[in-house]
Amino acid sequence: MSPVGIPVRTRAVSRSFLPLLTAAALLAVAAPALSADLGAGEKLANERCAACHGKDGNTPIDPSYPRLSGQHEDYLVHAMRAYKVDERKNPIMGAQAKMLSRDDILNLAAFYARQPGMLNHDR
């Protein structure tokens, strides 16, 4: 094993992995749901969200609360993140979102985006 041989070999290996790494990186960006845990999302949804947004995510207890089910996953992530960092100001959602980890947010968004809802793109 020559000292020169090792770096060459390493470079060759890392080059062969490059396409795979690129693909993995792209997937991670494009589809957060792949890594989301729907079961954990459902559990958290029932514990933290259902009391106000409705058990099905479509029947909020107050008309000023939004329906969540079927909403775009990345928008739900964006909204929860915005509440967490006080970019969106709401006393209830601010407090709730601050208790959520990054994974919690991804799991919740993945869960609600997959529930049947009444939201649509109609004009």
- For other proteins, the binding residues (CB under 8 A) are 59-60, 62-67, 70-75, 77-79, 87-89, 117-123
> For residue 16, which amino acid is it?
S
> Least CB distance from residue 123 to other proteins, whole Å?
4
> Least CB distance from residue 52 to other proteins, whole Å?
12
> Least CB distance from residue 116 to other proteins, whole Å?
12
Distance CA 2, CA 116 (A): 62
Task: Please identify, using beta-carbon distances, which residue of 43 and 70 lies nearer to other proteins.
Answer: 70
Task: Please identify, using beta-carbon distances, which residue of 39 and 66 lies nearer to other proteins.
Answer: 66
Other Cβ atoms closer than 10 A to 114 = 16
Task: Please identify, using beta-carbon distances, which residue of 43 and 54 lies nearer to other proteins.
Answer: 54
Task: Please identify, using beta-carbon distances, which residue of 4 and 29 lies nearer to other proteins.
Answer: 29
Sign of torsion over alpha carbons 26, 85, 101, 78: negative
Angle at 98 between CA 64 and CA 118, to 5 degrees: 35
Sign of torsion over alpha carbons 91, 96, 101, 104: negative
> Least CB distance from residue 117 to other proteins, whole Å?
7
